[in-house]
Structure 1
Amino acid sequence: MALLTPASAPPRRATDERPLPPPLPHVRGAARARARSALWRFRFLLAAVCLGVATAATVEALRPPAAATLPVVVLAHDVGAGAVLAAGDLVVADVPADAAPDGAFRSPDDAHGSVAAVDLPARLPLAPTLLAGTGLAGPTGTVVVAVRLDDPAVAELLEPGLHLDLVAARLEGGPGETVARRALVRPAPGAGTPSGGLLGAAPADDGPPVLVAVTPEEAVRIAQASVASRLVAVVVP
């Protein structure tokens, strides 16, 4: 009796184990062709980008260096001729060094209390040639007179640049009279030195005189009122 056994598989040939062949050359060539086609379609955009980068680099290379600046005192706002400069009128700002005038002030304290010689615009660098100083002078059209107030304590509190209404109160009583309006307080040169003249220093009870700039007509009224009246100062805006 014969036994039947399954037939064994035929042996594998060496040729069946070889790796797959690489892609055909025409596949890689098609990819390169598509890339070249895309570059050709966007050639103007690429050219514009390259041109922009080159232009920006050229401008940056040719840009001049930043101008040197100098911190100087300038006006915070417009100031009229004859105005006494106060702290709020002055600020320090950096301006081009070639735009700063000779002798320009570097600190607000250098110009504080000075008088504008002409109308001055805001942001203008200040120099001594633009100011009238603090001498015995007032705005154009005014004269400076010395006034001795009835209350010496008030006179010591008044600062240059304030405006006063001067009221004459009669010694014998009766209604007072305003002899000057918005009189401008001026700096007193040599403040602190005795002012008694030939007869010695003035009595301490009289207090220091106050220099004010008024119109010529007001100066006459002040002189007349000082003979028989007491002068009272009212600070006004």
Structure 2
Amino acid sequence: MLHALPVLRRLRGRPARLLRRWLALSLLLSGLVALFLPASARGAPGTATVVSARDLPAGSVLRAGDLKLVDLPDDVRPQGAIGLPATVEGRLLVGAARAGEPLTDVRLLDAAIPGSGDPESSTVPVRLADAGVTELLRPGQRVDVVAAAEAGREASVLASMAVVAAVGAQAARDPTAPSAGSTGPLVLLSLPSAIATRVAAISLERSITVTLR
């Protein structure tokens, strides 16, 4: 009986040791899992990011109601994402965006658009000689503006790297307008103010087209 006492003591202590080892192993495994989980799964705080509040078509001039601010983990936040709605409002969306899509710098027109108040840039409406060319244009696209050869004058480049701000709907033909030969939709081109004035003046006298960049 005396010889059995040490054995019983060892048996009574073993469950406690096993429990402590199991707890230590569980804590170690939990730490490893948390270490290798992505930030989003760990519930890590994200970075404020501007996303579209609804589906937006290309060429939209962004307003407060089109935007919302959400927190995105850094590992899923796209490069160039914007964090301040005030820097997005009033700018033109180059391509269509789905609801909840983060807005990045490359999706926004980097030139002035109507109503932006930028004194260095202006937006000039022109009607291209070939309406088929207009159908190829998209907001945000860069083009060179060319005056066609007419009345002994050679074709000339009026502006380089103009930005297409918007493409209007097909307009009715106005035979009394100076550009009666051009019946395509109006195209809004964003240019430095001095160049925009020159393009606007020449477009009243000569046919205008663009070359695509």
Q: SS where residue 207 of structure 2 aligns?
A: strand
Q: SS where residue 186 of structure 1 aligns?
A: strand
Q: Following the alignment from structure 1 to structure 2, what is the Cα–Cα distance between the partners of residues 206 and 54?
A: 76
Matched, 1:156 2:103: no
Q: Does the 8 A contact of 2:59 with 2:166 survive in 1?
A: no
Q: Following the alignment from structure 1 to structure 2, what is the Cα–Cα distance between the partners of residues 126 and 225?
A: 40
Matched, 1:167 2:169: no
* TM score, norm. by length of structure 1: 0.47
Q: CA distance change for structure 1 residues 172 and 193 in 2, over 3 Å: closer, same or farther?
A: closer
User: Which residue of structure 2 aligns with residue 185 of structure 1?
Assistant: 164
- Correspondences of 1:1-237 after superposition (within 5 Å): 25-32=1-8, 35=10, 39=13, 49=21, 105-109=52-56, 113-114=60-61, 122-124=80-82, 130-132=88-90, 136-137=114-115, 140=118, 141-173=120-152, 175-187=154-166, 191=169, 206-226=183-203, 228-236=205-213
Q: CA deviation at 1:172?
A: 3.5
Amino acid corresponding to residue 60 of structure 2 in structure 1: G
Q: Does the 8 A contact of 1:187 with 1:211 survive in 2?
A: yes
Q: CA distance change for structure 1 residues 178 and 116 in 2, over 3 Å: closer, same or farther?
A: farther
Q: Percent identity among equivalent residues?
A: 22
Greater helix fraction, Structure 1 or Structure 2: 1
Q: CA distance change for structure 1 residues 203 and 122 in 2, over 3 Å: closer, same or farther?
A: same
Q: Following the alignment from structure 2 to structure 1, what is the Cα–Cα distance between the partners of residues 155 and 166?
A: 27
Larger radius of gyration: 1
Q: Following the alignment from structure 2 to structure 1, what is the Cα–Cα distance between the partners of residues 124 and 211?
A: 17
Q: CA distance change for structure 1 residues 212 and 175 in 2, over 3 Å: closer, same or farther?
A: same
Once superposed, what is the RMSD of the aligned Cα atoms?
Answer: 4.8
Unaligned 5+ residue runs, structure 2? 29-44, 65-78, 93-112
Number of equivalenced pairs: 160
Q: SS where residue 234 of structure 1 aligns?
A: strand
Unaligned 5+ residue runs, structure 1? 1-24, 57-94
Q: Does the 8 A contact of 1:115 with 1:133 survive in 2?
A: yes
